[in-house]
Structure 1
Amino acid sequence: MVLNNIEKLLEKYDNGETTLQEEQQLKHYFTNETVPPHLESYKAMFTYFLVNEKEQFTKDVPLQSKRSVSFYTKWISVAAVAVLLIGFYFKSNVFQQQDDLGTYDDPKVAYNQLVQSLELISSNFNKGTEKLEYLNTYNKGVSKVGYLNEMDKTTSLIFKK
């Protein structure tokens, strides 16, 4: 009866549905009693958990004084604000100097420039697609292999046992 209860608790434990009291029961069972062979893997895990609960950190942790931490914090924050202000200043000056946005006053000149740009893009794109022409020959070969499949189907129908 106890073994059935423990197996039910283990199933709940594996599904993550146990309460803290049920987990304590499992730890107690696996540390005090002899465990059946099919539950040996759980024994190592639960004894580890029990030993881990009793572990304590006993070393002293040296802490810095509040004065040194606040002193560095103040100067780091002052330096960060200075860097931000310098960045905003230079960023605003750069945008003020650039008034030319690449616009054209004459629509014909703008149209001709656009046509030239699109022709350049098109020619480079066509060079890239020429390299893909080999894929067409590959597709033709694959379709011919498909005919072999059809032949295999018909021969299997003819020689069907």
Structure 2
Amino acid sequence: MESKVIDNLMEKYLNGETSLQEEARLRDYFGSGWVAPHLQEYIPLFAYFQMSREENYSGKIHFHKGKKRVYSWVGIAASIVLAAGLFLQQPNKTTEFGSYEDPELAMQRTKEALQLVSQYMNSGTEELVYLKEFDNAKNKISRK
């Protein structure tokens, strides 16, 4: 009867479904020395767990508190100084696009610029004629 209970507990243990009390029962069982032959392979596992629970570390643990915090503040300060330096080095640039004193000359230059834009836009629409022909051919085919 005990064997079936231990087998069930082992199956639950291997699936990660045991409670702490059930694991303590398994530790006691494998530590008792009376282990069923088909469960002998698990003795080293539970012996290792028992041995590791009894280990103590006697060395000193050193914590380095302040250095990391100082480095982060130095990095933040350096970033602020760098940003301020870049901002202050930029001269106030005002871009003059030019203005015309003569309104007729300004009107002429504006017309030239708009004519240039119109020319480039019209050159792009020439290619659309081919698309219109393609669309007409497609419509003729789809009507049939």
Instruction: Give the TM-score of the pair, scaled to structure 1.
Output: 0.49
Q: How far 1:57 moved relative to its partner?
A: 2.2
Q: In the alignment, does 2:65 pair up with 1:51?
A: no
Which letter does structure 1 place at the counterpart of 2:39? Answer: L
Deviations 1:72-92 (A, max 9, x none): 231122224455x37x96xxx
Letter in 2 for 1:63: F
Pair 1:76–1:20, CA change in 2 (3 A):
same
Give % identity: 29
Higher helix proportion (structure 1 or 2):
1
1:108 aligns with 2:122: yes
Runs of 4+ in 1 over 3 A off after TM superposition: 80-83, 108-112
Larger radius of gyration: 2
Matched residues in 2 for 1:78 and 1:110: separation?
Answer: 54
Say how many residue pairs are matched: 98
Aligned counterparts of 2:74 and 2:14: Cα–Cα separation in 1: 52
Which residue identity does 1:15 align to in structure 2?
A: N
CA deviation digits over 1:46-79, x for unaligned, max 9?
111111122222211222353x443323112222
- Please tell me the root mean square deviation across aligned C-alpha atoms, in Å: 3.1
* Aligned: 1:76 with 2:81: no
CA distance in 2, matches of 1:13, 1:35: 16
Separation of aligned partners in 1, 2:80 and 2:125? 47
Normalising by the residue count of structure 2, what TM-score does the alignment of the two structures yield? 0.54
Where structure 1 has 5 or more consecutive residues not aligned to the other structure, the ranges are 90-103, 116-161
Aligned to 2:101: none
